Every structure is written in C-alpha cells, then in structure tokens.
Amino acid sequence: MSAAHDPAQARVAADAALLRAMYETMLRSREIDRVAGSADGHWHAAEGEEAVLAACYCGLRDGDWVAPHYRGMLPAACARGADLRRLLAGLTGKATSHSGGRYRSDVCAPVEHRMIGLYSGALGPTLEYATGAALAARLDGSGAVALAVFGDGTSSRGNAHEAINLAAVLKLPVVFVCQNNGFAISTPSASGVGARSVADRGAAYGIPGVAADGNDAIALRAVLEVAIERARAGGGPTLVEARTYRVAGHLVADPAPYRSADEVAAWRARDPVARLRAHLVASGLLDDAADAALRARLRAEADAAMAQASADPDPAPEALRAGAVFAPSRSATTRSPA
Ligand SMILES: Cc1ncc(C[n+]2csc(CCOP(=O)(O)OP(=O)(O)O)c2C)c(N)n1
C-alpha cells in the first residue's frame, strides 16, 4: 500500500525526527560493517539489511525491550544509546567492553540498554527471552513491549515456535520480526522454511502474520508501528516477516559461491540506504551537503571508536574467575555459615 493510502505509512513518512534517526542508524551500520569487517574475518555484516535495523530499533520507548538478531546487534545497541567504542571493545576482547572482554559483543547485548542477547551463541533462545520480557512487562504493568528479531533460519528452530506459541496463547505484548535475508549460511530461505512464507505461519499461531518489504524502512516501520500499538494495547503478538537480502557473505570470510553475481547485483540496486535518502531529499529534510557532513561524522566516529577499542587494555586474568563470570546463586548468598 502506498503512503497515500496507508495512514501508518503516511505518519512515518512525515515524522522528521524518526526519519533522521533511521537514516543515521542505517549509515552507522554501514560504518560498523566497514571497521568491524576489516578487523575480524568472523564478522557478520548487515549490508543490505539496514532498513530492518532502522525500522526495528528506532522510535521505541526507553522502557521497551529488544532481543536483536546477532546480524545488526551493534547498530541496534547504538540506536538504544550504547557507546560504539565499548561495543567494538567487545569484538577486540578488551576490558572496556560490556562483558569485560569475556564475550563477543555481537551476541552479548548490553542489558543496561534494555537489550537481551544471544549469550550462548545458540540461535533461537532470544525469542524465548523476548516472550519472557513481555510476560514480565504484563505482570509489572509497565506498558513496555518486547521486540524479538531473528533470521529465517532461526525461525524454524523448535524454541522459536514455542516462544511465539506461548506469546500467542497469553496475548503477550511482543512483536516477532523475522529479518529474512534469503539465507541461513548457504541454505536458501525457500529450502529451509517449510511454510509458503514465514509470515504465513502467523495463521497457525492464531496471530497476524505480515510480510513487508525489508528494504523500505518507511513501509516496514509503519507495519511495526501497527504491531507495536496492537501489542501495547493488549492485542497480543504479531509476526512480521521483513523480506530483504544478505548482500554480504554469511561472514566476511565467506565468498558466497552458492549464488549468482546477477542476483546480488539486482538486490544491490534496491539499496535501502539510497531509498530512504531519496525520501529525505524529496521531503526537504536532507541535501547533498548535509548528507556528506553526516557521513563524514559517522565515518570519523567509527574510526575513532575502533582505534580506541583496539588500544584499550586487555582483561586481567581475574576477569575469568568464577565469581566474575557467574552471579552468586541464591542459595550461596542466603546460606548461613556452617
Ligand atoms: C542452535 C544453533 N544452530 C546452529 C547454529 C550455527 N549457525 C550460526 S549462524 C547460522 C545461520 C542462521 O541463519 P539465519 O537465522 O537465517 O540468520 P542469518 O545468518 O541469515 O542472518 C547457523 C546455522 C547456531 N549458532 N545455533
């Protein structure tokens, strides 16, 4: 539906502050991919998927919870107010990172920014964490919503189904967003998702399942706003499938020989950053000089954050002692001395 016919889309298209925040998040994600990708061959770039990050992580309330997909975790954290230098220090394994250098920052989200990570590295639990956060919000009466973002491969995990089903049964305030980039490593989405589409599964859970253009930040944000409002008002969860494309390899070290150059080129031509930029320019919210200044600022910010994160101190050996890794158990804290 065009913006002219869809009130939610028209609202998003006219929200200058939201549009600017989304554009900045998209450009910052590209800078993060540049600096992190050149430092770490294991980096999972979000190139081409930036509209999903912008639409999911901008415009939320401070009290809301997000359980992001690992691909896009750092831009998500920045959108929630985290400091890029500390996040990159998690990639370089430094003491200044949120985990004190103990774990990778693209799976270990800073909980102080109301983010929940993929801490064990196992795909799937984040949906359960989001359902749990939504249940807590219901019990606390906080009015918060939770947003779970996950890949198409992850959407077929058993715990993903369980989390969505429980949220549907309890009508919890959670939005499930599948960041469908067409692949799970080298397996095409069509070979891994048994249903006609991820969105089609919504009917089986008894909740709305909505497919959206994942390269159109405005259209996708409009779909999410409807889903978020529905969740906040007590209407229960929505399953949104954001259809996009993984322009990069699965990780930097993956040359992705399992797909054609023509396919990648066709999706590059649908660049989500260029698309939002065109809207901003047409709306009088951006011109070439302001765009160049913004890009230069974000490039300098990423370079400085990476340089600082590389120069930061390594963790001391004590950082790996049990007491520094695990919270004390309840019985250990309450047991009286023998
Ligand atoms: C439970 C579990 N199984 C397998 C893996 C290994 N693995 C890491 S990334 C990945 C692909 C995930 O695909 P998708 O969810 O579509 O996300 P994408 O990488 O495409 O963004 C797999 C299978 C894992 N981390 N956890």
Residues 6+ apart with CB under 8 A from 215: 48, 51, 243, 244, 245, 267, 270, 271, 272, 275
C-alpha distances out from residue 45 to 36, 198, 216, 253, 266, Å: 9, 22, 19, 11, 18
Residues 6+ apart with CB under 8 A from 277: 23, 286, 291
Please report, in tens digits, the pLDDT of each residue of the chain (338 residues total): 556 689 999 999 999 999 999 999 999 999 999 999 999 999 999 999 999 999 999 999 999 999 999 999 999 999 999 999 999 999 999 999 998 988 888 888 999 999 999 988 899 999 999 999 999 999 999 999 999 999 999 999 999 999 999 999 999 999 999 999 999 999 999 999 988 899 999 999 999 999 999 999 999 999 999 999 999 999 999 999 999 999 999 999 999 999 999 999 999 999 999 999 999 999 999 999 999 999 999 999 999 999 999 999 999 988 888 777 777 776 655 544 44
The CA 307 to ligand 1 mean position distance, Å, reads 30
Q: Indicate the helix (H) or strand (E) that contains 227.
A: helix 217-232
| 8 A C-beta contact, residue 68 and residue 115 | yes
The CA 146 to ligand 1 mean position distance, Å, reads 22
Model pLDDT for residues 262-299, shown as the tens digit of each residue: 999 999 999 999 999 999 999 999 999 999 999 999 99
> Given this model, what pLDDT does residue 337 score?
46
Reduce the DSSP state of residue 169 to 3 states and report it.
helix
What residues does ligand 1 touch, defined as CB less than 6 Å away?
Answer: 71, 121-124, 151-154, 181, 183-185, 246, 250
Residues 6+ apart with CB under 8 A from 152: 178, 179, 180, 181, 182, 183, 184, 189, 192, 193, 198
Residue 151 alpha carbon, nearest atom of ligand 1: 15
Closest C-alpha to 175, from 57, 286, 89, 88: 57
Residue 246 alpha carbon, nearest atom of ligand 1: 20
**Structural domains in the chain?**
7-252+268-334 (3.40.50.970)
Residue 44 alpha carbon, nearest atom of ligand 1: 19
The residue whose C-alpha atom lies closest to atom 17 belonging to ligand 1 is 151
Residue 123 alpha carbon, nearest atom of ligand 1: 26
The CA 188 to ligand 1 mean position distance, Å, reads 12
DSSP state at residue 120: T
Mutate to test the pocket of ligand 1, among 154, 156, 179, 241 (most ligand atoms within 8 A of CB): 154
| 8 A C-beta contact, residue 7 and residue 222 | no
Mutate to test the pocket of ligand 1, among 43, 107, 120, 123 (most ligand atoms within 8 A of CB): 123
The residue whose C-alpha atom lies closest to atom 25 belonging to ligand 1 is 122
The CA 192 to ligand 1 mean position distance, Å, reads 12
The CA 294 to ligand 1 mean position distance, Å, reads 33
Torsion of CA 147, 203, 267, 41, to 10 degrees: 50
Reduce the DSSP state of residue 302 to 3 states and report it.
helix
E-only strand ranges, the chain: 65-67, 146-151, 174-180, 183-184, 187-188, 209-213, 238-243
DSSP state at residue 157: S
